[in-house]
Amino acid sequence: MKLSIIIPVYNVEDYIEKCILSLQNQDIPRNEYEIIVINDGSPDNSRAVILQLIQQFDNIVFIDQENKGVSLARNAGIDKASGRYLIFIDPDDYVEPNTFSRILEVANEKRAQVAFLGFTFLLADNSVKKKILFAKESGKVYDGINAYKISRGDGTIDPDRSVAILFETAFINKYQLRNLAAIPYLEDGEFLARVMCLAERCIFDGNKFYLRTTRLGSATNSGLFYTDRAIKGFIIAANNLFRFQQSTLINAQQKQFLNQPLCKFILLAINSSFRNKGLLRRNNVVMELNNLGIKRCPIKSCNKYYWRDGFFFNLSPKIYSIYKPIWSLFDSLIFRLFKVHP
C-alpha cells in the first residue's frame, strides 16, 4: 500500500462526498491507496453519505466511533494506516485531480519523512485568497527545523496545519507521534512542532495539490478560541511541549527550536483567558502554568512577533495584559493604512 488518507468526519454531510470523489479522481490504481474515513459520532447525515460511497468504492476504510474530537479521530486513522505514507485531509476540503502519482514519486525519490504539498486557500465564494506552493524550495531536502521555518513564511500569519502534508508512516510510528486529546482548537500546531523537531528529511513539492475551503461553523470560524475548553487545551499543549522539550530524545538545537511553539501556546492561553473572563481568569491561567513549572516564555530563537510578546509577558503578566491590546490596536491600524505588518 502506497498511501493512507485520513479524514475525520463531523457535521459535514454537504461536503464529504465532494472531498472523497476528489480523492478517487487520481492517477494511481485504487488498490494502491486507502481512504480511512472516521465518523466521529457525527449527528447529521454524514454517516449515511459515507456508507453510500463505500458501495461505489472498495478503497474506503470506515471507522465508526462515538464523538472523541478531531485529534483522537486522526489518531484512530494513524493506527489503522497501512500505507508507506499518510496524509490528513479535512472533510470540507478537496484535492486537485491526478496528483497522487507526482507527490508519491517525489517523496520516494527524496526518501522524505515529511513533504509539504501545494496549498490553495479559497474564500467562501470559491475565489482564491492565497496560494502557498513553495516552488523555490522544490527539489531540495531540509531538516525539520529549517523546513518548519520555511513553511511559516515571514511570520505575519500562523499557518500551522497538518493537512496538505505527506508524512512517512514509519517515521510517525517510530516516535509514536500522535495528536493530543482535549485540544479543541489549533491542535495541529502542537503535533507539528514535535514532528518537525524530530524530522531529518523534509521536502516541498512546489505544485498545486490541496484546496482549503472556508466554511461557516467550522472551528476556525467559530468563537471557540475564547472558551474555557480552548484555554484548557492551550495549557495542555504548552505542558506537553514543555515536557517534550526536556526529553533526552532531542538535542540542544531541537530543544531551542521548541521555544517558539511553546511560547505560542503559553500566550494563546493568556490571550484567550483575558478576553474570556478578564483579570481573574488570566491570573488563574498564570497560576496553572506556574504549577506545571512554566513560569516564563522561552523567547530565544523565536521570531520577532513571539519574541516581543514573550518579552512583555516575562516582564509581568500584568504588563503584558496592558501592552497586548494597545499593540494589537496599533498593529491593526498600521495594516489598514499601509497593508503591511509593522
Lowest mean pLDDT among 66-80, 109-123, 188-202, 313-327: 313-327
Q: Write out pLDDT tens, residues 104-126.
A: 999 999 999 999 999 999 988 88
pLDDT band at 239 (very low <50, low <70, confident <90, very high): very high
Mean of pLDDT over the chain = 91
Residue corresponding to grid cell 465508526? 64
State which amino acid sits at residue 76: A
Give the containing element (helix H, strand E) for 203: strand 202-204
d(CA 322, CA 265): 19
Q: pLDDT by residue (tens digit) across 59-79?
A: 999 999 999 999 999 999 999
Per-residue pLDDT tens over the stretch 12-63: 999 999 999 999 999 999 999 999 999 999 999 999 999 999 999 999 999 9
275: confidence class by pLDDT, cuts 50, 70, 90 = low
pLDDT at residue 327 greater than cutoff 80 = no
Residues with Cβ within 8 Å of residue 36, at least 6 apart in sequence: 4, 5, 6, 7, 61, 63, 77, 80, 81
| Helices of type H across 42-185 | 46-56, 70-80, 100-110, 144-151, 169-174
- pLDDT of res. 331: 59
Mode of pairing for the β-strands spanning 60-65 and 119-122: unpaired
Question: What is the rounded (10 degree) CA torsion for 132, 153, 162, 325?
Answer: -120
Average pLDDT value for residue range 254-278: 89
Q: Which three cell numbers stand for residue 215?
A: 466554511
Q: State yes or no: pLDDT of 219 exceeds 60.
A: no
Give the containing element (helix H, strand E) for 116. Answer: strand 114-116
Strand order in the sheet with 128-132: 94-95, 210-212, 119-122, 128-132
Give, in degrees to the nearest 5, the angle at Cα 215 between 19 and 183.
Answer: 90
Boundaries of CATH 3.90.550.10 in the chain?
3-220
Q: Does domain 3-220 have CATH number 3.40.50.300?
A: no
Q: Which residues contact 64 (CB under 8 A, 6 or more apart)?
A: 39, 47
Amino acid at 213: T
Query: Which residue, among 53, 55, 68, has the nearest Cα to 8 in the 3D structure?
Result: 68
Q: Give the contacts of 43 (CB within 8 A, at least 6 positions apart).
A: 11
Judge contact between 233 and 184, C-beta under 8 A: yes
Residue 340 has pLDDT above 50, yes or no: no
Q: What pLDDT is recorded for position 287?
A: 96
For CA atoms 102, 106, 112, 115, the dihedral sign is: negative
DSSP labels, 56-80: H-TTEEEEEE----HHHHHHHHHHH
Q: How many CB atoms are closer than 10 A to CB 329?
A: 10
- Which whole number is the average pLDDT over 307-327? 90
Q: What is the pTM of this model?
A: 0.92
Q: What is the DSSP string of 301-316?
A: T--HHHHHHHHHHHH-
